[in-house]
Structure 1
Amino acid sequence: MYENVKQIPLAQAQQQASTIFLAKVFNWMALGLGITGIVAFVTANTSLAGLIIGSPLFFILMIGELGLVFYLSARIQKIQASTASSLFLGYSVLNGLTLSVIFLAYTSSSIAGTFFITAGMFGAMAVYGLVTKKDLSGWGSFLFMGLIGVIIASVVNIFLKSSGMSWMISFIGVIVFTGLTAYDVQRIKKIGEDGIMSQGSEAISKGSIMGALTLYLDFINLFLMLLRFFGGNRN
């Protein structure tokens, strides 16, 4: 009785699963970015900014952000999906509190302009990661080394306070995070194709949260690097 039933080709089924999974990832990412932007703007325009900027609370919030990212990454397989989503949203709020400083340092118009430039670059690299037939997995080690180099140089420059070094870090950072965007999108696409959509709602939810966190970090860091070049200082 089933002889006339047409089976969906495996490649098509994988494509459909990947599309659905990617939609969930990007929806979570957009939600996180929206929360961060709103919290940053509101904080910068209230007395709360004075309590955070230039105080020990700023560094406490930064440590809290790092702790959430490391905890979520290390415990994602053991915690519930609802907990993972709450941690991701909590991270978005904390990041908004610390990023409120950019609204005090740069003009609103330059922030908006840099955001749209970032969105354009991120979107272009995301599309490249989706449609290219080239395997980008070989980029991983190179980009990771670049990321480590940017982090170490940034820490060193806290003490050196070199303007030239800061510009160089930002330039390399733009290259690293544009590359990571394409690499991560292709990797997340492959996760969707490899069967996560058949593993149940918990696995799908947790996988989409981790994918969203990865792309969220790519976008935020690319934005901050570009802000160095396109941000108009209030002073």
Structure 2
Amino acid sequence: MAEYDTIRAAGVSGARAERIDAGLRAHMNKVYGTMSVGMLITALAAWAIAGLATTTDPTQAVGQLGNGSMLTNFGALIYTSPLRWVIMLAPLGFIFFGWTALMRKSSAAGVQLGFFAFAALIGLSLSSIFIVFTSFSIVQTFLVTAIAFAGLSLWGYTTKRDISGWGSFLIMGVIGLIIAMLVNIFLQSPAMMFAISAIGVLIFAGLTAWHTQEIKNTYVAHAAHGDQEWLDKAAYDGALSLYISFLNMFQFLLMFMGQQE
């Protein structure tokens, strides 16, 4: 098994290896389980917020989006006021600054709560997809993303190839992607958006496999120390990494597959 290959490489054998192997399976289940709960929170939050932000009653509408959707006061606040920039950039701020502080200073329970709060925040920032795209195309894109993610993560978990060298290249690609997306907010270039989406799918596909292998190797390297609090926090950190990869693949694929209302 792939677990034993990694454990033998770390110089662990016998009953100790058996314990680490069982612990690794439990650790990965916790990673995927936490990520799944986060995705559910995001989906429910996005759907609920989109419902609160729009109305079919013209007498209650205070504004419109470009596709003709009628907005409530709440919808106008989050989609057309300057607050939309805060909502758009807040997740980036949390990832670059808040999460590191949370991992360093908080307990495992606090880190878990922070992850779920982040998932709800993402739901707020993503809620407009339920207004712009049809429900069918959202579900269809989600299923395609889930299948692709499962295959990529399984490959990252089972492959004997060391892909740790992908990390720095892929992270640099993400930084370049963020810069390009910020620039395109002002340029509004369809061609540039198409290129960003295509490159984004490839980058986060690679990150899915890379993060999975990193989560596995990190567990094996530290399991022998028996620091359960640290391992719990590492599971939530891994869940966040895979959650972000899944979410970004979904958003970029939606640019290709999504059918607008």
Say whether the fold is shared (TM-score over 0.5): yes
**1:193 and 2:199 matched:** no
Aligned 8 A contact 1:22 1:192 in 2: no
- State the partner residue of 1:137: 164
Distance in 1 (CA, whole Å) between partners of 2:243 and 2:138 is 17
- State the partner residue of 1:51: 77
CA offsets, 1:73-124, max 9 Å, x none?
A: 2441222222211211111111101100111110000000000000011000
Q: How does 1:98-117 map to 2 (within 5 A)?
A: 98-117=125-144
How far did residue 64 of structure 1 move? 3.1
Using structure 1 for the length normalisation, give the TM-score.
0.90
- State the partner residue of 1:3: none
How far did residue 57 of structure 1 move? 2.5
> More relative contact order in 1 or in 2 (CA 8 Å, sep 6+)?
1
How far did residue 194 of structure 1 move? 1.6
Aligned 8 A contact 2:102 2:110 in 1: no
How far did residue 229 of structure 1 move? 0.4
How far did residue 129 of structure 1 move? 0.3
Residue 77 of structure 1 aligns to a residue in which SS? helix
**1:29 and 2:27 matched:** no
1:158 to 171, 174, 185: 185
Using structure 2 for the length normalisation, give the TM-score.
0.82
Residue 120 of structure 1 aligns to a residue in which SS? helix
Distance in 1 (CA, whole Å) between partners of 2:202 and 2:90 is 27
- State the partner residue of 1:123: 150
After superposition, the CA RMSD in angstroms is 1.7
- State the partner residue of 2:8: none
**1:38 and 2:64 matched:** no
Q: Would the alpha carbon gap of residues 196 and 64 (structure 1) be closer, same or farther in structure 2, given more than 3 Å must change?
A: farther
Residue 134 of structure 1 aligns to a residue in which SS? coil
CA offsets, 1:130-186, max 9 Å, x none?
A: 110000101112212221221111111112111011000100000000000000000
Could you list the runs of 5+ residues in structure 2 that have no partner in the other structure?
A: 1-12, 54-73
How far did residue 50 of structure 1 move? 3.9
Aligned 8 A contact 1:21 1:197 in 2: no
Q: Would the alpha carbon gap of residues 27 and 202 (structure 1) be closer, same or farther in structure 2, given more than 3 Å must change?
A: same
The alignment-based identity, stated in percent, is 39
Q: Would the alpha carbon gap of residues 49 and 15 (structure 1) be closer, same or farther in structure 2, given more than 3 Å must change?
A: farther
How far did residue 198 of structure 1 move? 4.7
Distance in 2 (CA, whole Å) between partners of 1:60 and 1:113 is 29
Aligned residue pairs: how many?
228
How far did residue 23 of structure 1 move? 0.8
Residue 165 of structure 2 aligns to a residue in which SS? helix
Aligned 8 A contact 2:137 2:258 in 1: yes
How far did residue 10 of structure 1 move? 4.6
How far did residue 197 of structure 1 move? 7.1
Could you list the runs of 5+ residues in structure 1 that have no partner in the other structure?
A: 1-6
Distance in 2 (CA, whole Å) between partners of 1:192 and 1:35 is 26
